[in-house]
Structure formats: C-alpha cells, structure tokens
Structure 1
Amino acid sequence: MSVQSSSQNHERAATSRRAFLRTSAVVTGAAALPVVAGRATAAPASTAVFAHGVASGDPLPDGVILWTRVTPTPAARPGSGLGPATGVTWEVARDDSFATVVATGTVTTAAGTDHTVKVDVAGLAANTRYTYRFRVTSGPATGAMSPVGYTRTAPAPNADVSRLRFGVVSCSNWEAGYFGAYRHLRAHRDLTAVVHLGDYFYEYESDGYTGKSGVVRATSPTNETVTLRDYRMRHAQYKTDPDLAELHRRVPWICTWDDHESANDSWKGGAENHDASEGPWATRKAASEKAYYEWMPVRPAAGPNGRHLYRRLGFGRLLELSMLDLRTYRDEQVSATSRRVDDQSRSITGAAQMGWLTEGLTSSTTRWRIVGNPVMISPVLVPPLDERNAAALTEVLGLPRQGVPYNADQWDGYTADRTRLLDAIRTNDVDNVVFITGDIHSSWACDIPVDPARYPATGTVATELVVPSVTSSNVDDILGVPEHTVGNAVPAAIMTANRHVRWNDFDAHGYAVLTVTPAAAQMDWYFVNDKTDPQTGRYYARSFRVASGSQRVQSVSQPQD
C-alpha cells in the first residue's frame, strides 16, 4: 500500500500491459500535515538504526518521494523477515535547522516491507529546496534520528525555466569497483536530479560478472539473487556504499530498471540468466519488483491493471522526462542474424507502453522531450544496408532488412517498434527528442537517422546520448588489457560503418551531466581514472550539444559550468 498524501494526478499515462505486483515496498501512514513550529535541537543521527541512509526521488511541482530503512533491532537485518513493527515520524522543512516544518506525518513499518519507509509527500511549493529527516517514535529504537536529507521539487508546469541539470548514470556493479563516479557527480553544482537508467545493482553470484580484473569487493549475498530475501539483501548492500548513500542524501533520483535488477537479458517470459532449477520466472520477477519498490525512491504509475514503472515527469515549460521500462513487456530476444528482428508482431515496449510513449511525445508542449531509455535505440549495424538494393540478398539469406545488428538485445532487435516510434515523431513534426541511454557500458553520441544506409541525405529524427557504466565491465576489463589500447580500435570501425554515430568510447567508466536550456541540450562526459581505487580522481572527456530544432549532435569543446 502506497502512502499517498493527496489525490493529485501523478501520471498522464494510459493503462499498463499487465498487472504489476500489488504489494508495494512502502508503509501505510498519515497524510502530510502543514506545520510551522520551532523544533528542539535533534539528536545525532543513528548510523546503526538508519544504516542505509535516506533518499528522495521522482520530484513533482508539489511533491516528492522520501525514503529510508530502519533497523529496529540487530536481528532485523535486511531480508531476515525479523524485527518488530516500528513507528517512524518524517518531517519536511524549508531550513537546515527544521525551525520551519512544512509537512510531517507518522508511518508504521515492519518486516513485511523489510522495514523500509516510503512516503509520497504532497502540498509542497514548486521549485523549492527542502530538507527532510526521519525519527523512530515507537519500538525498541525509539528516539533514533536519521541523517538530514536534501531534495527539491520540480518547477511548476507553466514556469519558464532557463536551465536544468541532471546527473546521468547506469550500470553500477559492486564487485567490479568502487562508486567514485557517484562521489564526483555530487560535486557538480545545481543538479536538479540524478537519472539512473538501469542496472542499479547486479544479480550475479560472487565473481559472476567482473571480467579479468576480478572481484574488487565481495557482494552480499554471495549467491545469485533469486528469492525476495536475496534481492532485499543485495539492495541493502548497495545502499551502504558511502558515495552512493551520500548522492542519494543530497539530490533526488529518478530511476528505472533494466535487466540486472531481476536477471540478465530478461523479457516478459524469462531471462537468459534464469533456468527451471531457480523456480518459476514469474515468482522471481515478482520478488525482484517487490524488493525494488521497497528499496528505491520511485513512484510507480497507476493504471486499471495495476502499477507500472514507466512514467513521465514534467519540469516547467522546458522539458518532459519519459522514463521507460524495456524489460517487463518485451518479447524474447532473437538472434541478430534472424529475419525475426523485423517481425511486426514483436515488441520491446509492449502495446500499452508504446501508445503511452508516442502519445506523450506527440502531444507534449514543452521545448524538450527527454526519454530515459534503458537500451540503445540508434541503429548499430554491420553494416547498414539500403533496403531497396539489398532486398534480394537479405531475403535469400534470411537476414534483417537493414543489416545485421551489433546487439539484438537493444531496439535493433525490435525494428518494428523502433519504426513505429520514429514514424510517429517524424509524421507529427515533433522536434527536440533526445534519448538518454545506459546499458551498453560505453559512451556514444548519435544522430538517429531516417535511413541509416543513406544518412545524412535522408535526415534525422532525434538524437541519442549514451552514458558509460559506473563500474560494470567494458572491453578492456573483459580482455584484461590497459584502458584505451585494444578498445581504441572499436569506435573507428563502428563509426566508419555507421556514420550517424558521431562518437563513442568503449573503455572508460564514469558518468555524464545533461544541461538543458531553451537553446540546447548538452551532455558532458566525465571518466574516472581507476574504478578499483576508492579515492579515484576523474577527468573531463567530451561534450556534445543538440541545438534546439536541429535533431543533430554537435561536438563542443567545453563542458557547461
């Protein structure tokens, strides 16, 4: 049951394609109550009771999700199913000292939600910075106080906004390295939110996916995550990383999942990393979703068939951000050389999500339409083929019409859905659509062409900016070679064959900052020096800018301040 502080309309979406698990990872509690009162000096934060920190997410003009987890007794470890029901009071204030509390309430959490607390606070002012905190008010940990968190609401729908900045990250594997990217991202000023595009954690057993660099730090549990207990324990471990916890404390996050929050290469009926010995896929997927909703500061949207993670957030007249779920509804992946890549009946989004996405993009009145896209949509083909001239060859050999895709787990494996979406954008004269993408553990700046074989003559539809992994293995890690040695040969080959790919880097780890103004959207990439060093430095790598109305990426020499 989700804590709703008002009946406000959080989502303009249509219905979901299938029901999501209804038992959510939140607790029942009181509505937000406006308060203006002085507060006594709070006790120091309890690192034992609030061992997993605090977080906020999904900012609206009048509300935000607040999150924490309490450990009321030493035995009440994440995933244990132990520990008493515990009362927790939350407060939201305009100032660091909590002299002016504007909203408060009390909730009860217990083992059924893994002692997580998630509150949907409403009635706040638009585009306003707030502080928040939690305090245990009943049970054996009574009096324990959380760290103070910081968050910010979104601008009002009709607000003229001159600039917004988003940190953009994906693919953070605990065992593959330290989260220095999160620490350096925190140093950027004026971040509106952090957008996490998926693979927040990895489901593998210890040393199951680290490349030749090996295990940098051991994961918990050491087995592959399959049960609800496993998924809760893995979420909990990630929340203890100091750089991740501090970035959550400082900035609201907007997150979606990719495959590793459940299992590698997942689809609606299974996953590559799931077999019958691990039980029914539906049971495992339900466990992963329940733990995700418990442990992440997300607001799932509601439809007649239940909840769904794809959702849209508005930021004044400047932009709308559509966050996609490209795992729950997709059809099973096929071979990259199979003609089924082009099958009209196969979908990566599912029909309901595709309708929601196209309707949202074509009806939006904001300057920019940003799409949080877990897997790449730009075609990457070996090589791109002119359908008219190559039809005889591809039909005889049974190959995809536009060429063999580099990775059929991406939109390249579902070309009918991509065509439907891009045609809707093009025929409705929608401009300024920018896909921001994760998953592929590498950095890319791409034009999305009308026809990849005849680019640039036939024009472009949108653009795509892809961020690297925080730590997950890249080409150099897999081969066990120094960064930017062997891996330097890959980008040239890809860009020679796919001219709409304007830049890529296959080796470096890090993050990006997306700055959006009425005139342009610019992505700045930053790479860490050594992901295995908890104190790693970072360096500025590249920037690409999309001028309003251009539908093209352009290299620029300097990052945004």
Structure 2
Amino acid sequence: MPASRAAPITAPACGRHCRLRAPRLASPHEKANSPMHRPDRRAFVIRLSALAALSGAGVALSACGGSDDNDDTPAPKYAYGVASGDPLADRVILWTHAQPPGSDADVPLVWEVARDAAFTQRVASGKTVASAAAGHTAKADATGLAPGQSYFYRFRHDVADESAVRLSPVGRTRTLPAAGATDLALAVLSCSNYPAGHFHVMGEVARSDAQFALHLGDFIYEYGAGGYASADAPAMGRVVQPTTECLTLADYRTRYAQYRSDPDIKVLAAALPLIAVWDDHEIANDAWTAGAENHDPATEGAFTTRRDAAMKAWHEWMPVRTPDATDLRKIYRSFDFGGLAALHMLETRVIAREKQISLADLANPATAQAAAAALSSPTRQLLGTEQLAWLQRQMAGSSATWQVLGQQVLMARMTAPVSVLSALNAANTTPEAQAAGMKAITDYLTARQVAAQNPAALTEAQRALLDTRRNPKLGYNLDAWDGYPAEREKVLASAAQLGKRLIVLAGDTHNAWSSQLTLMDGTVVGQEFATSSVSSPGMEEYLSALPPAQTQQIFMGVVDDLRYAETASRGFLMMRFTPAEARGQWHFVSTVKSASYTSTRSAPLAANLTQRTPQAA
C-alpha cells in the first residue's frame, strides 16, 4: 500500500541558540501542478546540523547542534542528517553521523522510534555510539516493530541534559509488510555523481508515493576534481572533496560526507528506508576481484588495500545491515515483501568477478581466439559459486509471487553484430567516423528488413551480415552480464526450472531500458527494468552527434531483446507490484545542470503473470 500521509509537523524547537526554522513546503498536489520545480528546499537546509525538510511525506524537520547552557559536554553536530535502511517486517537499520565541533571523541547516543513525529508514542529505543573508529557514524538495528507500519525516529546525545539542542533531525521509515501484501512501490536509483549535476532525482523520489528506495550502486564516484563528468562542477559549486582521487579510508569518508551534505540526499534519506548495494565507483571504475581499470598498483598501492578501505567506508556511511562482519564483501541479502515480492540483492563486483574481456581483444586476430574462449567458458564467474548457490536456495525457498533481483549491471542481452560494433567508436566523432557508423547500422537494418519481407532478394553481402558465424553478435558492454554468459544462463535457467516469475532490476548504464530475459535457446524467462542515472551522463554525451530519437531507434532495431529505451535523460524507475503484474515507469528531470527543472514520466510498461513479454500498459 502507498505510504500513509501525515499532516505537516514541526520537530521540537532547537533552543534559544537556534532561530532558523524550516519553511512550509508545497504540497504534492501543488508541486505536481507547478510549471517549474524550483530549488526552494536548498534554502532551508539548517546550518551545522539539521536536515532541512521532508516534502513528500508531509513532515518538516529541523534540529540543531552546538554548545549548551546546562551541560559542559559539547553537543554534537548531526551534519549529515539521518537515514534508515534494510527494513524487515520487525526491524530497520537507523543511521546518523554525530561529532562535537573540533573533537574526535566518541559520542554516546540514544535512538528512539515513535508512531508520531512529536515522539509522544515511543515504541522502541536503545543506545549506540558514533565512534571515531567508524568515522563518527552510528547505526542501530531497531527491533520490536510491527510489520507494514510507518515510524518516526531520531537520535539524542546520551548525556544528562535532554534539551532539544542534543537532538538529531527526525526521519521517517517503514517496515516490510506482513504476509498477504497486495501492493508495493519501489523507487529504483543508480549512479549519483556529485560533480555531474544536482541530485534533483532524489528529491523527486522523496516527493513520490514510493514506499521504499533501492540504490543499485555508484552512490559515490571515486575520481578527483576534473575527473569524469566534472566539466561543469566549478560553475555549479560541486567540485569534489577531497580534490584528489579516493584511495584511502580518509578519502572515501570525506567523499561520502560531501555527498551526504547534499540537500536532496538528506531529504530522501529521511523520507524512505533505503536498500542498497555498491557497484564499481564506490571502489574504482570497472572493478573486478583483483583489480580495476582505474587502479594502478605501481602508483596507488595494492588494490586490496584500496578495496578494503572503500568497503569499510561504504558500510559506515550507508544504512545497511552488515551480513558478515568478517567479510565485508558479502553484501548479498534478501527481503520479503509480504509474499508479494522477494527481493534478492546481489554483489557482482569483488567477490568473484573475473577480469573483463575487452572488445579490442575479441577483434584483434592475435588475441581473438583466447578472448573468445575465455568469454564462453562454462566456468567464467560473476557471482561466484557460493553466491549463486545462495541465490538458487533463496528462490527455491520463496513462495513470493515475484522473484526480483536487485543488482548493478544489465543482465539482458544487449548484443549487436560485430559489423556495427566495429564501426561505432565513441572516441572518434569525426564526420567520416559518424558516416561509417551510420552506414554499418543502415546496412544491417536493411538486411534484416529484406530478410523479413523477401528473403530471396538478399544479396550475398546482406546474407553475410545476417550470418552470425560470419558476423557474430557481441555485447556492447562486456562489463555487464554479456561478459559472463555462462553464469547468466545458470541464473535464468534456475528461475525457469523453478517456475518463478522473474524481474531483474539494473543500473550502471545511465540510461533507461527494458528487455525480455532469454535463455540461449531464445526462451523468455523474465523481464529486466533498468533505471537511468541520478546525474551521470548517458548516451546523449557519448553519441552526441546523433539525435536521441535516432539513438533509441538504432538500439531498438539492432538489439533483439530490447523493448524500451530512453538514452538522453536523468531520472529514476518506479516499480509497482501487485499479484497480477509488475509495472515499471520512468520518471525524468529536464536537467541536472541548473537549480530549476521540470519533470516528466514515461508511459508505464507492464509484465503480468500470463504475458511474459512487456506490453505498453
């Protein structure tokens, strides 16, 4: 059921040292009917320690940190707000960051959960510590809650003085539903790159009727100032900190702190419980088990040292339950939404992923045979045997209507003929290169059209283009599941053999897609819905010479399993589940480069229990 709405409530006053209050926000109805979404929420982020506002859930929140007249112990700042995550039917993780000004001392905290924002109906409480060893972050697993309920939560400095100056901002969270759930709304996000643009998308999620938020990776990016997608950062005031590339634990902590200082992240974090996994940029670009494209051991040290620092920071700064404290790589875990959907969150980066195979190696006659053999190897791993066995057990033991995989990279076959891939080079945008690429695409699509209408009229050259032995199809991105076909087949075959209705959610590409999921023999076993990015640029930057509509047409014409594509807009995916259908709808913002923007939505795309192929709803 959609999250219930409460009348606007103001959190307790901050005491005489705080005078700033959060102004009234437009209601969801007013926001939806305004011609332009303006950045008003940025003006009321409370200085020093406050979360400014929660618009969509109808709550205005504020708190202060600083000195206090009644206690010699300095009050902590809650500079990055509060967050919740990894909800279960009876519990949820609560998160904050608390640190006294100019002090590295540990901060003892009390956490409180209540049915109302004034905390007159408290239902649970406990103690935790924002320790220096954890970068002054603090978590609590708030247990003893009721299923399918919304709650308010906050933290309080655990000292004798209980004045409002010791309080954190107030957040709102929700537990998973009890058995018999009939409606579920998940907001799916990916690729939030601070220097690339504003996080308007996160503000939109907070104002939506989503019950839970999923972040499928690249919550931060590791590059230094002037790195990937940073050209407009100085003008927007979004130059990354530290300005160097993230290598150490201190670097990653500083980067997470900067991201969590963003107003839209604060609003979303306090509005909805988050379920998250990492992708490569939480560590380094195109990471795999033993290295990454963006890591040079000769100048940056051992990859495992960097990886371990990055994972520690992620577990500190994200509101996640750590499944195995002895091995921080193991972030795969399941969530049951009242028997309606079972969500299995996967790790596809550093547990077992073998090194990516490059298209260049497949195209080079000197390396093609070895690269092709490695690509098609039946033992090639992405999840690894332990995680795959876990996933198979989870699906086999679940009676949920929908089995949903929340993971990082595209699972569907995004394959194109070599004749097209070899002619498209995003690094070469000369008129000659563009013309060659368009000719390769036109020739292939023309051959397909002739084959469909009058096969006898095919020329020998066209027959060669359609012959997969002479013109094989390869994934355009071998960092995705197309680079690990044997293990993809095992995952999809498991779902098919168990008779499960499978939905796969993906991020990573910065574009919106939906595809049917097929076995090697062409059998359709499920659907994939992939979200666009929060701010990272998509195909509109890499194929800038092509109009977006033409890019979409090319992908739809060349990729057999693709059913929907939007390659020019930033946004999020809203997934809605009922016993009868799973339905995806993409929400887009007009720009992330300026403070003002408009929003639009795609037509919904549904897959129901009797029709496996996505159809326009």
* TM tier, smaller: 0.7 to 0.9
Partner in structure 1 of residue 498 of structure 2: 428
Aligned positions, number? 490
| Mapped partners of 1:304, 1:234: distance in 2 | 25
Partner in structure 1 of residue 273 of structure 2: 252
Paired residue type of 1:180: H
Partner in structure 2 of residue 11 of structure 1: none
Partner in structure 1 of residue 186 of structure 2: 166
Paired residue type of 1:150: R
Question: CA contact under 8 A between 1:443 and 1:505: conserved in structure 2?
Answer: yes
Alpha-carbon distance, 1:227 to partner: 0.3
Partner in structure 2 of residue 46 of structure 1: 64
Residues 516 and 270 of structure 1: is their aligned pair in 2 closer, same or farther, counting only changes over 3 Å?
same
| Mapped partners of 1:231, 1:310: distance in 2 | 22
- The TM-score with structure 2 as length reference comes to 0.75
SS of corresponding position for 1:325: coil
Residues 299 and 384 of structure 1: is their aligned pair in 2 closer, same or farther, counting only changes over 3 Å?
farther
Paired residue type of 2:94: L
Partner in structure 2 of residue 196 of structure 1: 215
Question: CA contact under 8 A between 2:105 and 2:132: conserved in structure 1?
Answer: yes
Paired residue type of 1:313: F
Alpha-carbon distance, 1:374 to partner: 0.4
Alpha-carbon distance, 1:526 to partner: 1.1
- The TM-score with structure 1 as length reference comes to 0.83
| Residue 449 (structure 1) aligned with residue 518 (structure 2) | yes
* Structure (1 or 2) with the greater helix fraction: 2
| Mapped partners of 1:487, 1:362: distance in 2 | 42
Residues 422 and 441 of structure 1: is their aligned pair in 2 closer, same or farther, counting only changes over 3 Å?
same
SS of corresponding position for 1:286: helix
Partner in structure 2 of residue 26 of structure 1: none
Partner in structure 1 of residue 540 of structure 2: 476
SS of corresponding position for 2:475: coil
| Mapped partners of 2:397, 2:594: distance in 1 | 47
Residues 422 and 303 of structure 1: is their aligned pair in 2 closer, same or farther, counting only changes over 3 Å?
farther
Partner in structure 1 of residue 151 of structure 2: 130
Which of 301, 321, 325 aligns to 2:347? It is 325
Paired residue type of 2:533: S
Partner in structure 2 of residue 208 of structure 1: 227
Partner in structure 1 of residue 296 of structure 2: 275
Residues 501 and 462 of structure 1: is their aligned pair in 2 closer, same or farther, counting only changes over 3 Å?
same
| Mapped partners of 1:547, 1:365: distance in 2 | 17
SS of corresponding position for 2:404: strand
| Mapped partners of 2:160, 2:384: distance in 1 | 45
Which of 322, 330, 335 aligns to 2:358? It is 335
Paired residue type of 1:496: G
SS of corresponding position for 2:379: coil
Residues 547 and 87 of structure 1: is their aligned pair in 2 closer, same or farther, counting only changes over 3 Å?
same
Paired residue type of 2:128: V
SS of corresponding position for 2:413: coil
Give unmatched runs, 5+ long, in structure 1: 1-38, 77-82, 557-561
| Residue correspondence of structure 1 range 395-406 to structure 2 within 5 A | 403-406=473-476
Residues 529 and 307 of structure 1: is their aligned pair in 2 closer, same or farther, counting only changes over 3 Å?
closer
Question: CA contact under 8 A between 2:153 and 2:170: conserved in structure 1?
Answer: yes
Alpha-carbon distance, 1:550 to partner: 2.8
Partner in structure 2 of residue 547 of structure 1: 608
Alpha-carbon distance, 1:256 to partner: 0.4
Residues 541 and 104 of structure 1: is their aligned pair in 2 closer, same or farther, counting only changes over 3 Å?
same
1:198-255 per-position Cα deviation (integer Å, ceiling 9, x unaligned)? 0001000112111765654211111111100000000011111111111110110000
Alpha-carbon distance, 1:394 to partner: 7.6
Question: CA contact under 8 A between 1:384 and 1:497: conserved in structure 2?
Answer: no
| Residue 355 (structure 1) aligned with residue 424 (structure 2) | no
Which of 276, 294, 310 aligns to 1:288? It is 310
Residues 308 and 549 of structure 1: is their aligned pair in 2 closer, same or farther, counting only changes over 3 Å?
farther
| Mapped partners of 1:226, 1:394: distance in 2 | 44
* % identity of equivalent residues: 35
Q: CA RMSD in A?
A: 2.6
Give unmatched runs, 5+ long, in structure 2: 1-10, 16-61, 67-76, 363-370, 420-462
Partner in structure 1 of residue 508 of structure 2: 439
| Residue 261 (structure 1) aligned with residue 295 (structure 2) | no
Question: CA contact under 8 A between 1:84 and 1:139: conserved in structure 2?
Answer: no
Residues 41 and 103 of structure 1: is their aligned pair in 2 closer, same or farther, counting only changes over 3 Å?
farther
SS of corresponding position for 1:382: strand
Partner in structure 1 of residue 116 of structure 2: 95
| Residue correspondence of structure 1 range 533-544 to structure 2 within 5 A | 533-544=594-605
SS of corresponding position for 1:429: coil
| Mapped partners of 1:256, 1:139: distance in 2 | 38
Question: CA contact under 8 A between 2:514 and 2:565: conserved in structure 1?
Answer: yes
Which of 398, 408, 413 aligns to 2:478? It is 408
Which of 148, 171, 176 aligns to 1:149? It is 171
